[in-house]
Structure formats: structure tokens, C-alpha cells
Structure 1
């Protein structure tokens, strides 16, 4: 939304973007819980048998004392630097470099607006790769990083809701509702039709993670996954992390070039290209016999 407002003069884009993000998170949580309830009733889940058997902490949001876990481990001595500050500084460093690099690229190529998210994402991957090569990743705790990310997401949602201009939302109510309805139906189509036919095992768990990711955020997908697969035996995060290597460039291309193409009047290029690629993937699955394999046993 900020990019559309700053570079293309669409001042209402930020409010519409915040509204969409808020609705997406609500759909991810409420819709995900509904899908879990339906799936457990049909016996499609592999690791839980009934929605009523879910632990109390998932119902109330409050963790009992015997199930409370540490938010992370101290990877460095607090006498030199606080471990939380270290992890926060790493994130701030990547974002700072990405911000500087984005401004440099914009100055060199003023006709093209490069989104900060895309640059930060690429730099994050490079930084992570370097850390692994020099074995510095041993001192970066993933749970601490997740907590920082979760905190940032909570603040982002709260600030986003508070900053929404209701008048703008009302003015764009019809197109927003149409987009929301289509987005929900598309996400459900992926969950109910595509997922069972392409995933060879644990299709429900993997499709549910995809539902949370596509409608909300990765954190939403992981939260829903932990409900149906508390111990992550389905290896869903690992599978999606591997798959995202191929997905990441597509995400960056979409975020980078969609506003440019839309501003030039080429509104259908990216949707048509993505649909053709999706159809090609389905065709390859069917040709190789992988489409619907073990579907009957899992359904």
C-alpha cells in the first residue's frame, strides 16, 4: 500500500492494504479452526482424533505451568551483550542495509520502484547463508527470532487496525468484498482440491499450513499446523522451507513488477502467466501419475 501511495499517487492504498491484511489474519484463524473442526469430524487428521480433545491452552490461550516453554536460549554471555539485543540487532542490521540499498537502487533507476520487502528478503537469505558457512548460526536462536517476528506482527496488526480510514474502506467496499470473497474461495480451492491431489502424505496438515500462509502469514500457518500436528511429525515446515526456494523468486517478481505493470495498464499479464504456470504444473503431475496418488486412502 505504501508503495502505491508514494510512487503512483494512490493515497488510499495504505488503508486498503491494512484492511486486507487484517481481514486475512481473521480469515486465517477463524477459517482455519473451522477447517480443523470439520476435518477431525471426518477423520482426516493424522495426529488428533477429535476437536474436543484439543488441549485447554489452545482453547483459552493461557499456558498452564507444566506446559510453559522457554522463549529461547542464551547463545551469548549477557555480560558482553544481552542475547535478545543481539538478535534484534541482527534483524535491524539486515533491514537497515536493505533500506540503504533500496534508496541507492531507486536513485540509480528512478523509473523503477524496488520494494524494501524484496531487497530485505534477499539480503536475509544471503546473511543466513553466510552465517551457516562460518558456523555463526549456532549463536542465533530460531525461537528468539520467531518471538521477535511474532511481536512485530502483533504490533503491525494493532497499528494497522488503528490507522485504517473507515471512510476509504466504505468507498471501496464493493471491490474489497469481491476480492475477499474470491481470495477465500481460491484459498479453500487450494486446500480442498489441490492439496489432497499433490501431497502424497499428510495432505491435511500440509494443506492447512498452506491455508494459514496464503490467507494470513507463515506464523498463522504454523500456529494452525501445531493444533493438528503438535510435535510436527508431518515435517511440513521442512517441506515448505525447501519448496520456498523456488517460490521466493516468484514472490519477489510479483511484488516488484505488479505495481509497474498495473500502472502501465497491463493488468492481466501476471494473473494469466501465473494461471498458465499452475496449469502446467498440474499437467506435469497428471502426466507423471503423481496427481491424486494415494488420494483415496487419505480421503
Structure 2
């Protein structure tokens, strides 16, 4: 198994090398807004078992790596020190847009798959609840939830999650290019976009005489993950097993390990800062720059591995439904995000629309890639809205993650009422957000 994992890591790194060379020497790709991680993933998809079958990597091993890297990436991000920005209202607005879009994708994803289920019973409606995970959250989360649901009875749940995430990447890149060209042509902005060179930056680092700073960050991240992993193991193994719902709720909790990891990292950081202020801890062990670099590398690898690990042969029965519904979901997502941005943000609307759309169909890297096409210097503030808004969304979106614990009960009990419980709770949360946040804006802006 370990040699297989090493082989897979080498393959993914080779796909990255190929992506970097292609973007260096192919003019079209050099000008395109496709991040290297996504291009590397599609190279793996083509060279792997799905198409050419030239590279024989182990999809199951890749899946296990994706699962753990998801938690590691979120822990690394959450361990960073959060600084209150100048545009707090804008950050909250961006966070609310992100969560509202999650709910929008979940509501319409379920309705669309339910309608398809009426025509083809083998297409289960629960797939619709994976749409916000694949589009809004990302491949790691979609695979994690899908895999846990697979253990409860959803056939090829992990592969379905990755397929939906890949469709989201297609929207964020190919769809994003199309939307970008249409918008730029309409706004007549193409000639005004000027690319600027990268500026060198200096970063203050903290090194220790007996250990490298990067090693310290890895120790911190793994320590938090082991605490979360151990707590989940004890909870699911020795507590939930005594209750009737334990067999269903346990896998659901394992599917949200990344959320528990992020929460634990936040508390860990707060505790660390208290100890540092009281001079109990004298060294400044946590380094935000290194944590950001670790998270970036982890997410790059995870994205490439996620696309490479898609197994089309496992989802042929629902492939047409996935294609049609994911296409519709991408269209709806764009218009919904554009509408919300125009209602809540009075400045730099185009930049915020592109950044949020790229993020809510792909990842934050695709959002940044789209943004750089109209804001190469990242001077509009949309990048800050995206980054800090994503942090706000983690906390605002907790109820939605709890709602997603209901659909798996259909798999274990056969009672389809749980679908509608989850659906109605999503609708209620969605409407509640609008009442608390959006309704006053209609009064001010009739």
C-alpha cells in the first residue's frame, strides 16, 4: 500500500510538471485562466484509467489521500491569525453570498435530481445534496461526504462527489472563460486590462536553533488533526454505537472531519494566543506565511488528485443526469451570484461577480484566476472579500452542514421523508437569511 501511495504522489507531481510545461510553451494555455492544479488533474484524467490508461494509479489510495488532505488544508488555514479588516461589512456580505449560494445549489440540486428520479428511478435524489459540496465547497469535501454516504448505501458516492466537483471546475474554467469574454465585450473592458509583473515580497520568518520553522507548522497541524481524529474515533466507536442512530450518524460525522478540524484549529489558535500573552509560551511558533503556503500546496495537490481520481466507469448509469443537471446548476449559480452581488455591493461588481462565481463552482484558486483577468493587480478589494468572506462563510454555514446529516437516514431507514426534512430546513434557512440580511436592502433600494 505504501509503495502504491508513493507511486501515486509521484504521478501527481509529474502531472504538475506537465501542466507547468504546457502553460509555458502552449500560447493558448499560457493566456488561459486555468490554474496549474486543475490542468494537472485533467492531464491525469486523460492519461489515467478513464481515457488512455497509460498511467495506472490507485484510485482508492488517491481517495484516502484526498480525504486526509482536506482536513489538513482546513486546519492549516484555520491556524492562521485572523486580522480584522477595514471592510468588515463587505466581508460579511461576501460570506452571506457564499452561504446563500450553497443553499441555492442544494435546493435546486435536490429538486432537479428529484425530477430526474421521477423519469429514471435509478437516479437517486440524494445526489442533489452533493451539488453544493462539489460546486460550493470543493472536491475534497464532496469526496469526503460522498464516500461516507457510500458506506451507508449510496452506490459510488465518492465517485459521484468527484464528478460533480469536476463539472464545477469545468464551469469555473471553460465556463468562466466564456462568461469573461462575453462580459468584457459587453463592458468594452478588454483593451483596458493591463497585466503587471509580480512584485518581490519579503516575509518575516521565525526560525529556531534546533528545528526548522516548516517542521514546527507541520507538527502543529498534525497535532490538531490527531486530536480531532481521536475524538471522532472515540465518539463513533464507544459512544454512538450504543444508540440506534449511531450507525448512520457516525459516518456522517466522519464526512465532516474537515469542519471539526477547522473548528479545533481556531480554538487551538485562541488558546495558543492566550498562553503567549501570559508569557507561558515564549516562542512565536505559529507562522502565518508558512501555514498559508502549506494550505496552498495541500489544496493544489488535492485538486489535481481529485480530478485524476474520477472513475467514469462507476457512474455511467447516471452520467447523462449528472451532465445535464450540473450544466443547469452552473447557469443558475452564475445568475444567482450576479444578482446577489448587484444587490449588496455597490462598487467593483464585475470583479466580485467573477471572483465569487469562480469560487462557488471551483475553488478559491479558480476564483482568483478569473479575478486576475479584470483585476491583475488585485487592487479592487474583491480578493479580500473572497478570502475573508470564505472565513465568515465557514461559521455562517454550520447549520447547512448539520442539515446534510439528514439525507443519509434515507439510505439506512428507507424513509424518504428525510429528504424533505433536509429540503425544508434548507429553504427555511435560506429564507431566514434573506429576512435578517437582504430584506432591509430592498427597502433602501426599491
Task: Confirm or deny a common fold (TM above 0.5).
Answer: yes
* TM bin (shorter chain): 0.7 to 0.9
Change (3 A) 1:100 1:179: farther
Asked if structure 2 preserves the Cα contact closer than 8 Å seen for 1:118 and 1:256, the reply is: no
Aligned to 1:201: 347
Change (3 A) 1:105 1:251: same
Of residues 393, 398, 403 in structure 2, which corresponds to 1:249? Answer: 398
Cα gap change, 1:81 to 1:54, in 2 (>3 Å): farther
Query: When the two structures are superposed, what TM-score results if normalisation uses the length of structure 1?
Result: 0.77
**Residues 180, 206 of structure 1: alpha-carbon distance in 2 compared, 3 angstrom cutoff:** same
Shift of 1:123: 0.9
Deviation at residue 36 of structure 1 after TM alignment: 3.4
Match of 1:28 among 167, 172, 176: 172
Unaligned runs of 5+ in 1: 57-65
Write the distance in 2 (CA, Å) between the matches of 1:262 and 1:209. 36
Q: Deviations over 1:164-213 (max 9, x none)?
A: 32211222212312431232123112222222112243333333332122
Aligned residue for 2:427, secondary structure, equals helix
1:195–1:286: structure 2 CA closer, same or farther, 3 Å change rule? same
The residue that corresponds to 1:156 in the other structure is: 302
For residues 292 and 55 of structure 1, what CA distance do their matches in structure 2 show? Answer: 40
Matched length: 279
Separation in 2 of the partners of 1:292 and 1:145?
A: 43
Contact (CA 8 Å) 1:226, 1:232: kept in 2 or not?
Answer: no
Per the alignment, in what secondary structure is the counterpart of residue 315 of structure 2?
helix
Q: Secondary structure at the match of 1:164?
A: coil
Does the C-alpha gap of structure 1 residues 287 and 99 become closer, same or farther in structure 2, counting only changes over 3 Å?
Answer: closer
Q: Helix, strand or coil for the counterpart of 1:189?
A: helix
Instruction: Tell me the residue number matched to 2:220.
Output: 90
Pairwise CA distance, 1:255:
4.4
- 8 Å CA contact 1:72–1:143 kept in 2: the answer is yes
Give 3-state SS (helix, strand or coil) of 1:74's partner: coil
- C-alpha distance in structure 2 between counterparts of 1:70 and 1:259, whole Å: 48
Alignment of 1:72-151 (within 5 A): 73-77=204-208, 79-107=209-237, 108-110=239-241, 111=246, 112-113=249-250, 114-115=253-254, 116-135=257-276, 139-151=285-297
* Matched position secondary structure for 1:144: helix
Q: 1:159 to 1:293 in 2, by over 3 A?
A: same
Equivalent residues of 1:98, 1:123 under 8 A apart? yes
For residue 263 of structure 1, report the CA deviation from its aligned partner. 4.6
Output the TM-score relative to the length of structure 2. Answer: 0.54
- Name the counterpart of 1:267: 419
Once the two structures are TM-superposed, the CA of residue 103 in structure 1 deviates from its matched residue by: 0.9
Mark the runs of 5 or more structure 2 residues left unpaired by the alignment.
Answer: 1-145
Q: How far 1:246 moved relative to its partner?
A: 4.3
Q: Relative to 1, partners in 2 of residues 1:86 and 1:5: Cα closer, same or farther, differing over 3 Å?
A: same
User: Per-residue displacement from partner, 1:205-260 (whole Å, max 9, x unpaired)?
Assistant: 33333212221123333443344443344241465156326424234314444434
1:67 matched to 2:198: yes
Change over 3 Å in CA distance of 1:240–1:173 after alignment to 2: same
Q: Please show how residues 148-227 of structure 1 align to structure 2 within 5 Å.
A: 148-227=294-373
Report what 1:18 is aligned to: 162
Quote the Cα distance in structure 1 between the aligned partners of 2:358 and 2:272: 29
**Corresponding residue for residue 231 of structure 1:** 378
How much does 1:105 deviate? 1.4
The separation in 2 between residues aligned to 1:253 and 1:43, in whole angstroms, is 41
Matched, 1:291 2:442: yes
Give the CA deviation at 1:51.
6.5
Structure-1 separation of matches of 2:408 and 2:202: 39
